[in-house]
Amino acid sequence: MQIIQQLYGPFFNLDAWRDVLTSGADWAIIFSLILMECLLSVDNAVVLAAQTQSLPTLRQREKALIYGLWGSYLLRFLMIGLGTFLIHIWEVKVIGALYLAYLVFHFFYQRYHKSRQQTDEKPKGTAKFGQVVWQIVFMDAIFSVDSVLAALAVSTKPIIVLIGGLIGILMMRGVAEVIMALMQKIPELEPMAYYLIAIIAVKLFLTIPQIDIEIPASLFVLILIAAIGITLAIHFYRAKKND
């Protein structure tokens, strides 16, 4: 009980909240954490948008992101309290990398067999709504390890880290919705997302302590922009050719 109070007590201190919310210097740190959260979570947005595509309707996909948002908020609260211990949980990154690799294999396996069968039927592996929500929360837990540790390195005040993280998550859900909407209009973006997920799996695996190779978030953003540009070029080329 004493450990729980030590880890999470500051979140329930009203005086600490008032000090943070009325401090211009603290808000400057919060904005920097939001920016950092967005940069570190671009890959997360790509994964989330791709995962929701297994749901049959746009409404269900949007609801899955909303429910996953609240689950991620609760998880982020717990992870910030446990932040000092997260650095030792490198096994989480290995599990996450393997899971992402499985997603890529599963997607292209189904896509290949669907094209061979020459059928318009929905794939039997269409995910259930609750399953997708849990996948979103699970993946946020994996991607949050780096975000939480980086945020705690910037500020030791848990309330500042919490506010920055929660606003950052909300912004990244917005990015995921934009990617999701684009996938509906440009079907080539879905396989592109899974190629990126394969890169993300390698990127995540390389960060474990035994390897310790960090691919900068800025480089991944450039890869993402280039991938979208190439995919758009392919899409418009095909559309022009069909016309």
How many CB atoms sit inside 10 A of residue 150's CB? 16
Q: State both tokens at 222.
A: 């450039």
Percent helix, strand and coil across the chain, each to the nearest 5: 85, 0, 15
How many CB atoms sit inside 10 A of residue 30's CB? 26
CA 36 to chain centroid, in Å, comes to 13
Gap between the Cα atoms of 78 and 94, Å rounded: 21
Gap between the Cα atoms of 111 and 96, Å rounded: 23
Question: Model-level pTM greater than 0.75?
Answer: no
* Whole-number pLDDT of residue 125: 45
* Whole-number pLDDT of residue 177: 79
* H and E: helices and strands count for the chain: 11, 0
Gap between the Cα atoms of 41 and 203, Å rounded: 13
Q: Which residues of the chain have pLDDT under 70?
A: 1-3, 6-7, 39-40, 83-89, 114-127, 146, 149, 153, 217
* Whole-number pLDDT of residue 126: 53
* Whole-number pLDDT of residue 230: 92
